[in-house]
């Protein structure tokens, strides 16, 4: 067996029963899973019975023009905004609120893009998932365990359920939270044991399985300070097949801040966020600043909400659960880490691909970096904070064949 063992990138191994505005959590656990047109005219048209696509003002013409350029008809549907209980904005302590949705401007992503994401499959390589959790169950995910070589992916650790719900939780079931991937398909690949560790051999096997079963995006919320040929070959193999791999940058800022792998394989050390074959993701707090635990360095691509984010929990784990103000058959709570910022970026990547299916994996990564809310690259946040709406806008107005010339990132 290989000597390289990965761990989860969760700053806190259990969910936090604190409000998003609460004081910082305890110091991150070393080598744990990286877990952190005119409105009146439109109204008149609708009253007349016309079907109107409501999109961002800057996108009204781009939606149609880009769809035509791609040989597709725009998706026409009545206004149907995402309406999940956890999206009700509140600043009250202890009230369940998926604040990360607003922070990444997910509410401004056109509905048709959320639904068009059904053509993209996201693989979450993790500790499995609770298939009874409403936001996971209602996506009818495909499953595989490289540990038991079966379809059973029971999540006793809890990490995989949290990550899966953030990447691709249902946006249309009216329960709990909404995943960042819209209607993207979900593939749950269990490769992390109940103690939170994964070998590079199992990691590689999970990557190969995911790619061979149609995943366009692979989420790796894991990390460690060493790499191996097995891991390197698996990452390169996936990249050569047009798959976008997204990995957590790590939570050891105050414990040496050493580069983490596989993130540093995707965005190489010394690259300052340029080039690479995937994305290394850091974590931000609610105010947009770097989460205190999130690693920094030249291998950081961008960052996303990762401190006290709200998501679904597994019924088979012992994470503390939030006291919900709304009825739900599932469990929810808060947790922190770059582990949980990473699936948000993975989900946003599915939206970029939905907006412009002609993009390559490298171009999708460039769009996400180019559209991030920073003013330039920095070792703290990479190219900046995830902005899903801006990423979709950029993908829509830039034909795939010109992206290579348009971006240097």
Tokens describing residue 122:
């996201």
Query: How wide is the angle at C-alpha 106 spanned by C-alphas 101 and 111, nearest 5°?
Result: 130
DSSP SS3 for 258 = coil
Tokens describing residue 157:
């650790």
Active site residue: 159, 221, 228, 387, which one?
A: 159
Counting beta carbons within 10 angstroms of the beta carbon of residue 270, is it exposed (0 to 12), middle (13 to 18) or buried (19 or more)? exposed
Helices within 169-245 (DSSP H only): 200-212, 229-240
- Catalytic site includes residue 172: no
Tokens describing residue 296:
């920094």
Query: Which residues, at least 6 apart from 121, have a Cβ–Cβ distance to it below 8 Å?
Result: 184, 185, 186, 187, 213, 214, 215, 216, 217
Which helix (H) or strand (E) is 125 found in, with range? strand 121-126
- Catalytic site includes residue 339: yes
CA distance 220 to 309: 18
- Catalytic site includes residue 253: no
Query: How wide is the angle at C-alpha 123 spanned by C-alphas 184 and 317, nearest 5°?
Result: 105
CA distance 9 to 295: 11
Active site residue: 35, 67, 111, 126, which one?
A: 126
CA distance 164 to 202: 19
Active site residue: 178, 339, 371, 373, which one?
A: 339
Catalytic residues, by residue number, are 126, 159, 339
């Amino acid at each position: 067996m290989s000597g390289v063992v990965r761990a989860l990138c969760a700053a806190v191994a259990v969910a936090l029963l604190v409000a998003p505005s609460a004081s910082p959590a305890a110091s991150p656990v070393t080598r744990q899973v990286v877990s952190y047109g005119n409105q009146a005219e439109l109204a008149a048209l609708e009253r007349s019975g016309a079907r109107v696509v409501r999109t961002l003002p800057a996108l009204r013409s781009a939606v149609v023009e880009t769809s035509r350029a791609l040989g597709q008809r725009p998706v026409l549907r009545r206004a149907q905004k995402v309406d999940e209980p956890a999206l009700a904005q509140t600043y009250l302590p202890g009230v369940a609120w998926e604040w990360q949705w607003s922070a990444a401007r997910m509410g401004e992503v056109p509905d048709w893009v959320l639904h068009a994401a059904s053509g993209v499959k996201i693989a979450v390589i993790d500790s499995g998932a609770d298939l009874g959790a409403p936001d996971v169950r209602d996506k009818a995910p495909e499953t595989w365990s490289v540990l038991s070589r079966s379809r059973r992916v029971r999540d006793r650790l809890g990490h995989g359920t949290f990550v899966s719900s953030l990447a691709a939780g249902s946006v249309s079931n009216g329960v709990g939270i909404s995943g960042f991937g819209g209607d993207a398909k979900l593939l749950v690949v269990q490769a992390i044991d109940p103690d939170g560790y994964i070998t590079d051999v199992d990691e590689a096997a999970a990557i190969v399985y995911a790619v061979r079963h149609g995943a366009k995006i692979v989420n790796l919320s894991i990390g460690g300070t060493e790499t191996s040929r097995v891991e390197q070959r698996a990452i390169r193999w996936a990249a050569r097949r047009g798959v976008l791999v997204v990995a957590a940058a790590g939570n050891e800022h105050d414990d040496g801040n050493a580069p983490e792998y596989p993130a540093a394989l995707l965005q190489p050390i010394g690259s300052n966020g340029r080039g690479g074959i995937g994305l290394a993701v850091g974590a931000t707090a609610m105010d947009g600043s770097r989460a205190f635990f999130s690693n920094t360095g030249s291998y950081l691509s961008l960052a996303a909400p990762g401190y006290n984010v709200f998501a679904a929990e597994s019924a088979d784990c012992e994470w503390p659960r939030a006291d919900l103000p709304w009825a739900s058959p599932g469990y929810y709570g808060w947790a922190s880490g770059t582990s949980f910022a990473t699936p948000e970026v993975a989900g946003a990547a599915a939206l970029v691909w939905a907006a412009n299916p002609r993009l390559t994996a490298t171009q999708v990564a460039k769009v996400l970096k180019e559209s991030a809310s920073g003013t330039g690259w920095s070792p703290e946040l990479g190219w900046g904070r995830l902005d899903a709406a801006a990423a979709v806008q950029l993908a829509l107005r830039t034909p795939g064949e010109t992206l290579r010339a348009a971006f240097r990132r």
